[in-house]
Structure 1
Amino acid sequence: MSAADPSRPAVSFPDALSSRERWLEPFGWYREMRADSPVRYDTDRELWDVFRYDDVKHVLDTDAVFSADPSTAEFGDEVADGEGEPPPVFDTMLFADPPEHDRLRGVVSDFFTPRAISNQADRIRELTEGYVDDLDAEFDLVSELAYPMPVDVIAELLGVPTDDRAQFKRWSDTVIERPDATTEAAMEAFQQRQQETQREMSEYFSQLIDARRAEPRDDLITAIIEAEVDGQRLTERELIGFCTLLLVAGNITTTNLITNAMRCFTSQPELLDEFRADETKLSTAIEEALRYRSPVQAVFRVTAESTTLGGREIPAGEGVVAWLGSANRDERAFDRADEFVVDRQPNQHLSFGYGTHYCLGAPLARLEAKLALRSLLDRFETVEPVDTDLQPIRSSFIYGVEEYPLRGHQPGE
C-alpha cells in the first residue's frame, strides 16, 4: 500500500533527528545534507543516506540495483521471532522485487484502481460525516477523525470488525515504532513488543482466513484467499502477510496525510474559504501537503550489486535510506521548495514513492483525505489549532504527530 517499511527499525534513525524538535521539523537538516552530504555513509548506523530528488528517484526506480527485499542482506533481525523467522509481512509485495513483486501486487491491484476506489466514495463519505458530526467545538483531529475513519474504511474492505479498531491502532503503532536502543534492556523490550504484535496479528488473521474459507463473503480477505497467481493460490504466510500489510498501511499513511494537511492549512487560515468555494483547490492543496509534510519520510533499500550514486561508491549488500521528505524539499526540483504553495502545479512529489513500488493505496488515501477535510470545512466555519506542545510519532519513517487539538467555530458563533 504505502512505503511503510518496518525492516531495520532499530538503526535507521540518525542522531541528528533524535530530538522531539528535530523530528517535528527535520527539513533544515535535510537542507544541510543536500548541500554538504547528498549521498553519505553513516558509520554509527552502518547505513547510506540519500537526500537529493534525482538520487532518491533513481533509488526508487532501479529495482535491479536497489532491492526492496531485506533478505538480500542481513536486515530485519530486530523483528524476527524467536526462531529467527521474519514476520509474514516480509512475504508481501512491499519486500519483493520484480517479477515476484508484480505477481503479488496483481492479487489486489484491481481493488485499488481509481475506478474501484471511486465506487467507495459514498460509503467513505458516510463514515466521515458520522465522525465529524460527533465532534465538539474542541477536538483532537487524530483520535477523533484522522485515525478512526481510515481504519474503518480498510477494515470494511478487508471484512474485519471495525469494533477492533483500538487493537488495530496498537498493532500499527508498534509496527512503525522506533525503539529506544540506548540500552540492551530497551532493545530487548522493543523486540519483544514487535514479536508479540506480529504473533497477535498472525493469530487474528489466521482465524479470519479459516472463517472465510468456511464461509466466503464479499470482502477483500475472501478475494485474496480465492485469488490464483500463475495457477497457484497464496500460501498461509502470504495470506496473513497481505492482511497485515493492508491493515497497517491502509490507515497509517492516510491518518498522517489528513493531520499533516491540517497543520499546513491552519497555518494559512484564509485558505479554508478558498477550499469551500473551489473543491479543485482542495485537491491541489492536498498534493502540496503531501510534498511539504510527507507522511512517509524515508524508505529502505539494499544494494543488490555495487553501484555509484552521487559520486560515491556503494558496495553490494549495503542498506540505503532514501529520504523522500528531503527529496520533496529539494530546491533543484521545486521552486520555493521550503514554502507551502497551495496552488503548486505541476507537483511531482515522491510521497507515494515512484516506479515499481508506487503506493497501491494512493487513490484511496487521496479520496479519504479529501472527504475528511471537506467534511470538516462543511461543519466548521473556522478551524484553529489549540496551543499545545506537539509530540511527533515515534517512528523512523512515518511523519506526523500523536495528537493535533483543534478548535472549530460553526457559522453564527
Structure 2
Amino acid sequence: MSSETLLARITDYSSRPDPYPLYAELREAGPVVRQADGSYLVGTYHEIAALLHDPRMSVDPRTRGAEAQQLPFLRLDDPEHHRLRTLAMRPFGPPHTPHRVDGMREEIDRITRELLDSLGAGERIDLVDDFAYPLPVTVICRLLGVPREDEPLFRAWSDALVAAADVRPGSDTTETDKAGEQAKMEMGGYLVNLAEQRRGKPSDDMLSAFVNEPDPALRLSREELAETAILLLIAGHETTVNLITNGVLTLLRRPDQLDLLRRRPDLLPRAVEELLRFEPPVHMRERIPRADVDVAGTTLPEGASVVLVLASGNRDPKRFDEPDRFDPTRPDNQHFGFGSGIHLCYGGPLARIEAYSALGALLPRLGTARLVEDPPPYRQNAMLRGPRHLPLQL
C-alpha cells in the first residue's frame, strides 16, 4: 500500500490491537513521510528526539490560524507554557521534589490493596473497570480534593475529552470534538466551583493550594485554574490506566518474563521503564512548525501538521537492540513513553508510582491468571492506545 495512507491505516480501529507492523513500514519509508491529507509522519527515534527539543516546533493550534481560545499549558509554547507549568507544579512541592505525590505512596498502596482485596479468587474480572481505572482516578481525586461520591462524574467527561484529543486524518470539526468541548466546559465548571468553596478555608489538597496562593503574581486566573485542573485530572489517570493494563497484558503473554519478575521483584522499576518503551500509554503527538524545518532532507512546511509517532521511535532498531523483544532487564532505556523535552508528560511521576504499586501487588496473583480474550477490545483512541476492557480469570 502507499506510504501516503499510513496515518489513515494507523488510526483505523482495525489496527488498534497491533499497530507495530505499520510503524515498521513507516520507518522503512523514511524518517519523514508525507500523507495524502498534507500532514507528515515521523517515526524514527533520532528525528523524533530532535523535533521534540526543537523550539521551532509548536504545540499551539493557533500557530496555523486556529480560533483563539483558552488552552491548557500542554498546548502552549514557551514562555507562557513555562509560566503556567511552573505555577501548576507549585502545589507539588519544591522543584524536582514532588513531596505531595511522594507523601501519597502509602495511600496509593492502601488503595491498591483495597481494590485487590475486593477481587475474589477464582473470579472473572475486567482489569480495566475493576482495578486499572479506579486506582488512578481515586488517587488523583484525592490529590485534587474531589469528594469520593463525585468521582464517578469524571469517567464520562474523561472519555469524551480523550476521544476529542485523538490524532486522526483531516481537520474538520466532528461530533466527537463537540462532545469533548461540552465535557471540558462541564468538568472545568465543576472543578472551579469546588476550588472556590475552599477559598479562605485552606485544606490539604491541590485545588485549595491553587485558590489560596498568597502571592497575587502566582495566582491562576479562573480560566487558567479550570484548564490546569482538567489537565491534572486527565494526565493524572489516563496514562496510568493504559500503563497498568498494557503491562498486565504484556506479562500474561510472556509467562517467562512474568516468572522472572515474580522471582525478582527488584527488577520492577526497570520493567516499568521497559513497558513504557514496549507498550507506551501515548503513541503519538502532533507538532506544528513555526517556520520551514528541514529533517533528513525533507522540508516540514510552516503550519503543517507533523505527527511524531513516539511508539514507532520506541521500536527503532537504530536506537534499541532487538526492539520488538520485551526485556525487563534492558539497560540504557531512554524511551518516549512520556514524551521528551519541555512537554514531558505532566503526570509521569505519579503514573510511575502507581504502576510500581499496582504491578507489584498484582504479580503474586498473575501466575495463575489467564486472559479470557486475546486480543482484548481496545479503546477507539489511537493516540492514547490501550484495552477498553481486559477480561481475566483469576
Q: 1:94 aligns with which of 55, 74, 85?
A: 74
Amino acid at match of 2:254: Q
Question: Match of 1:365?
Answer: 351
Count of residue pairs the alignment pairs up: 383
For the Cα contact (< 8 Å) 2:284–2:310, is it kept in 1? yes
> Is residue 53 from structure 1 mapped to residue 39 from structure 2 by the alignment?
no
Question: Match of 2:231?
Answer: 245
Q: Deviations over 1:139-173 (max 9, x none)?
A: 11111111110011011001112333332111111
For the Cα contact (< 8 Å) 2:63–2:290, is it kept in 1? yes
Question: Match of 1:120?
Answer: 104
Q: 2:128 aligns with which of 142, 149, 174?
A: 142
Q: Name the % identity.
A: 33
Greater displacement, 291-300 / 211-220: 211-220
Q: How far apart, CA to CA, are the structure 2 residues paired with 1:308 and 1:165? A: 47
**CA distance change for structure 1 residues 171 and 262 in 2, over 3 Å: closer, same or farther?**
same
For the Cα contact (< 8 Å) 1:272–1:382, is it kept in 2? no
Query: What is the root-mean-square deviation in Å for CA atoms of aligned residues?
Result: 2.6
Q: How far apart, CA to CA, are the structure 2 residues paired with 1:225 and 1:13? A: 46
**CA distance change for structure 1 residues 351 and 153 in 2, over 3 Å: closer, same or farther?**
same
Kindly state the Cα deviation for residue 394 of structure 1 after the two structures are TM-superposed.
1.1
Q: How far apart, CA to CA, are the structure 1 residues paired with 2:345 and 2:188? A: 24
Q: How far apart, CA to CA, are the structure 2 residues paired with 1:379 and 1:26? A: 29
Higher relative contact order (CA 8 A, sep 6+): 1
Q: Deviations over 1:358-379 (max 9, x none)?
A: 1232221111011111111244
Question: Match of 1:66?
Answer: 57
Greater displacement, 250-259 / 353-362: 353-362
Q: How far apart, CA to CA, are the structure 2 residues paired with 1:16 and 1:191? A: 21
Question: Match of 1:8?
Answer: none
Residue 213 of structure 1 aligns to a residue whose secondary structure is coil
Amino acid at match of 2:77: D
Question: Match of 2:314?
Answer: 328
Question: Match of 2:212?
Answer: 226
Q: How far apart, CA to CA, are the structure 1 residues paired with 2:154 and 2:119? A: 22
Question: Match of 1:80?
Answer: none
Kindly state the Cα deviation for residue 300 of structure 1 after the two structures are TM-superposed.
1.2
Greater displacement, 242-251 / 93-102: 93-102
For the Cα contact (< 8 Å) 2:167–2:383, is it kept in 1? no
For the Cα contact (< 8 Å) 2:136–2:354, is it kept in 1? yes
Amino acid at match of 2:50: H
Q: How far apart, CA to CA, are the structure 2 residues paired with 1:240 and 1:183? A: 29
Q: 2:265 aligns with which of 271, 274, 279?
A: 279
Q: How far apart, CA to CA, are the structure 2 residues paired with 1:232 and 1:362? A: 24
Question: Match of 1:22?
Answer: 15
Kindly state the Cα deviation for residue 338 of structure 1 after the two structures are TM-superposed.
1.1
For the Cα contact (< 8 Å) 1:181–1:187, is it kept in 2? no
TM-score (normalised: structure 2): 0.90
> Is residue 200 from structure 1 mapped to residue 186 from structure 2 by the alignment?
yes
**CA distance change for structure 1 residues 13 and 204 in 2, over 3 Å: closer, same or farther?**
farther
Amino acid at match of 1:106: T
Kindly state the Cα deviation for residue 58 of structure 1 after the two structures are TM-superposed.
1.0
For the Cα contact (< 8 Å) 1:177–1:396, is it kept in 2? no
Kindly state the Cα deviation for residue 227 of structure 1 after the two structures are TM-superposed.
3.8
Kindly state the Cα deviation for residue 383 of structure 1 after the two structures are TM-superposed.
2.2
Q: How far apart, CA to CA, are the structure 1 residues paired with 2:126 and 2:84? A: 37
Kindly state the Cα deviation for residue 357 of structure 1 after the two structures are TM-superposed.
1.3
Greater displacement, 110-119 / 287-296: 110-119
Residue 321 of structure 1 aligns to a residue whose secondary structure is strand
Q: How far apart, CA to CA, are the structure 2 residues paired with 1:235 and 1:118? A: 28
Q: Deviations over 1:256-303 (max 9, x none)?
A: 000011111111123333323322212211111111111100111111
Could you tell me which runs of 5 or more consecutive residues in structure 2 were left unpaired when the two chains were aligned. none
Amino acid at match of 1:320: V
Question: Match of 1:215?
Answer: 201
**CA distance change for structure 1 residues 114 and 263 in 2, over 3 Å: closer, same or farther?**
farther
Amino acid at match of 2:337: S
Q: How far apart, CA to CA, are the structure 1 residues paired with 2:110 and 2:274? A: 26
Q: Deviations over 1:4-35 (max 9, x none)?
A: xxxxxxxx992112443312211111111111
Q: How far apart, CA to CA, are the structure 2 residues paired with 1:217 and 1:345? A: 43
Q: Deviations over 1:107-130 (max 9, x none)?
A: 233517455232211000000110
Question: Match of 1:160?
Answer: 146
Q: How far apart, CA to CA, are the structure 2 residues paired with 1:164 and 1:315? A: 46
Q: How far apart, CA to CA, are the structure 2 residues paired with 1:49 and 1:180? A: 11
Q: How far apart, CA to CA, are the structure 1 residues paired with 2:300 and 2:111? A: 48
Amino acid at match of 2:41: D
Amino acid at match of 1:310: A
Could you tell me which runs of 5 or more consecutive residues in structure 1 were left unpaired when the two chains were aligned. 1-11, 76-83, 409-413
Q: How far apart, CA to CA, are the structure 1 residues paired with 2:334 and 2:362? A: 27
Greater displacement, 245-254 / 376-385: 376-385
Q: Deviations over 1:156-195 (max 9, x none)?
A: 00111233333211111111116899999x9643233122
Greater displacement, 251-260 / 175-184: 175-184
Kindly state the Cα deviation for residue 308 of structure 1 after the two structures are TM-superposed.
0.2
